[in-house]
Amino acid sequence: MARMRKLDPKKTAFDDKLLTEKALTKQRHRSRDEVVRAIWACGGIISDAARMLGYAGQSGLRYRIRDDVELQEMITEARETMKDIAESKLKDALFAGEQWAVTYYLNNQARDRGYGREGININMQQNTLTAINLESYSDKELLQLEKLLAKAPADGTVDA
């Protein structure tokens, strides 16, 4: 059963509000070292760092970071470190043959080889490969194209 709070007739709601504000103010005042440790421990995620420091919300910490260039740089460094860790985990998953990792990697890093969400859009330095609508060509032109393709190497390489 929940315990009921005893009401103090001498205490007003205004006094309760002041006590709460004092507690929050005391709770919000953290040393710079504590803020730095929280930023690194949370990987630069400000909302998590604010929670770790006991802030009621993240705006107080955001104001503090906004006014401190070194803290801004630490946020950036912590986020870059998180990216490195994520890339390392992705690499581990790739080497383990995880299908999701292979798909993700090809969609995002192998667009130059024709992979990606947008479909084939291959850019080879100066030459761009695009889809060709063959319906607009005459029979004679299509025969010429067929002869050219027959002469091309089987591996698709082109001599420059």
Number of domains in the chain: 1
Return the pLDDT at 134: 74
Low-confidence ranges of the chain (pLDDT < 70): 1-28, 118-132, 153-160
What whole-number distance in Å separates Cα of residue 74 and Cα of residue 39? 7
Return the pLDDT at 18: 47
Decide if 158 is inside a domain.
Answer: no
Output the pTM of the full model: 0.53
Decide if 115 is inside a domain.
Answer: yes
Decide if 123 is inside a domain.
Answer: yes
| Location of structure tokens 């001599």 | 159
Contact 72, 83 (CB under 8 A): no
Decide if 18 is inside a domain.
Answer: no
Cα–Cα–Cα angle for 130, 134, 138, nearest 5°? 135
